[in-house]
A and B are shown apart, each in its own frame.
Chain A
Amino acid sequence: MSQTLSRYRVSTRRSAELALLVGAWLIGVFAWILVDANTGDGSLGGWTSLISAGMLLLIAHGVVRWQAPYADPLLLPSVAALNMLGLAMIHRLDAADAQRAASNGSPQPTPDVYLQLTWMLVGLVAFMLVLSFVSDHRRLQRFTFTAGFAGIALLFLPLLPVIGNEVNGARLWISFLGFTFQPGELAKVALTIFFAGFLVTRRHSLALVHRKIFGLGVPRAKDVGPLLLVWLAALLVLILERDLGTSLLLFGLFIVMLYVATGRRSWVIIGGLLLTVGGALAYQAFGHVQIRFNVWLHPFDDPTGNGFQIVQSLYGLANGGIFGTGWGQGYPQLVPFSKTDFITSALGEELGLMGLIAILLLFAIVVERGARAAIATRDPFGNLLAIGLTTAIGIQTFIVVGGVTRLVPLTGLTTPFLSYGGSSLVANYIIIAILIRISNAARAPEITDAQLVMRQEAASQ
Chain B
Amino acid sequence: MSELLLSILRIGFLIALWWFVLTVVSVLRRDLQAPRDAKPLTPARTSKRPSPRPTLRSRKTATKLVIVEGALTGTVIPLGSVPIIIGRAPDATVVLDDDFVSTHHARLTPNGNHWIVEDLGSTNGTWIDRTRVSAPTVLRPGTQLRIGRTSMELNT
Q: Which residues of A are at the interface with B, using a C-beta cutoff of 8 A?
A: 1-3, 5-8, 10-11, 13, 16, 20, 23-24, 26-27, 30-31, 34, 37-38, 73-74, 77-78, 81, 203-204, 207, 263, 323-327, 329, 351-352, 354-355, 358, 361-362, 365, 368-369, 378, 445-446
Contacts and interface: CB of A to CB of B under 8 A. Distances in A.
A23 B23 contact: yes
Contacts of B7: 326
Contact of B90 (A207, A263, A378): A378
Contacts of A263: 99
- Among B20, B72, B94, B123, max chain A CB count under 10 A is at B20
Contacts of B10: 34, 323-327, 329
Given A5-B38, A13-B31, A204-B99, A20 B13 contact: no
A298 to B, nearest CB: 34
A11 B27 CA distance: 13
A3 B90 contact: yes
A36 to B, nearest CB: 11
- Interface residue tally of chain B, by bracket? 20 to 34
Contacts of A354: 14, 18
Contacts of B31: 13, 73-74
Contact of B39 (A6, A13, A324, A358): A6
Contact of B17 (A3, A27, A77, A207): A27
B14 A207 contact: no
A23 B72 CA distance: 47
A361 to B, nearest CB: 5
B56 interface: no
A362 B21 contact: yes
Interface in B13-46: 13-14, 16-18, 20-21, 23-25, 27-28, 31, 34-35, 37-39, 41
B133 interface: no
Given A8-B37, A37-B1, A365-B25, A30 B16 contact: yes
A323 B27 contact: no
Nearest to A207: B99
A383 to B, nearest CB: 12
A73 to B, nearest CB: 7
Given A324-B10, A355-B17, A446-B38, 11 more contacts: A3-B90, A11-B34, A20-B23, A203-B99, A207-B99, A326-B13, A327-B10, A329-B6, A351-B13, A361-B25, A362-B21
B95 interface: yes
Contact of A24 (B6, B20, B35): B20
A16 B16 CA distance: 18
B73 interface: no
A177 B31 CA distance: 46
B135 interface: no
A141 to B, nearest CB: 15
Interface string B56-99: 00000000000000001001000000000000001101110001
Nearest to B97: A1
B4 interface: no
A73 B35 CA distance: 16
A434 to B, nearest CB: 20
B18 A1 contact: no
13 contacts: A1-B41, A1-B93, A3-B91, A5-B39, A23-B23, A34-B9, A34-B10, A38-B6, A74-B31, A326-B10, A358-B20, A358-B21, A365-B24
B72 to A, nearest CB: 8
A73 B24 CA distance: 9
Contact of B27 (A20, A358, A378): A20
Contacts of B99: 203-204, 207, 263
A81 B24 CA distance: 11
Contacts of B41: 1
Nearest to B72: A1
Given A323-B10, A324-B14, A378-B90, A8 B35 contact: yes
A329 to B, nearest CB: 7
A174 B38 CA distance: 47
Nearest to B11: A323
Contact of B28 (A6, A38, A368): A368
A365 B27 CA distance: 11
A37 B20 CA distance: 22
Given A13-B31, A207-B99, A358 B37 contact: no
A31 B38 CA distance: 42
B106 to A, nearest CB: 15
- Among A26, A74, A355, A358, max chain B CB count under 10 A is at A358
Contacts of A3: 90-91, 95
Given A7-B37, A13-B31, A31 B24 contact: no
A358 B18 contact: yes
A16 B30 CA distance: 11
A28 to B, nearest CB: 10
A-B complex: 6 closest residue pairs judged by Cβ atoms? A326-B10, A1-B95, A358-B17, A358-B21, A8-B35, A23-B20
B27 A73 contact: yes
A40 to B, nearest CB: 10
